[in-house]
Amino acid sequence: MFRLLFWIALIAAAVWLWRRFNRPARPTPSATQEHEAAPMVRCAQCGVHVPQDKALPQGAQWYCSQAHLDQHQQ
| 7-16: average pLDDT | 96
Confidence band of 31 (pLDDT split at 50, 70, 90): low
| Separation of alpha carbons 13 and 54, rounded Å | 56
In a domain, 23, yes or no: no
Q: Are strands 56-58 and 40-42 parallel, antiparallel or unpaired?
A: unpaired
- Report yes or no on 43 lying in a domain: yes
Please state the domain count of the chain: 1
Compute φ and ψ for 11, nearest 5 degrees: -65, -40
Confidence of residue 21 (pLDDT cuts 50, 70, 90): confident
* Host domain of residue 68: 38-74
Name residues whose C-beta falls within 8 Å of residue 39's C-beta, 6 or more positions apart in sequence. 51, 52
Tell me: pLDDT of 1 over 60. Answer: yes
What's the whole-model pTM score? Answer: 0.50
Residue pair 73/57 in contact by the 8 Å Cβ criterion = no
Question: 31 in a domain, yes or no?
Answer: no
User: Is residue 12 situated within a structural domain?
Assistant: no
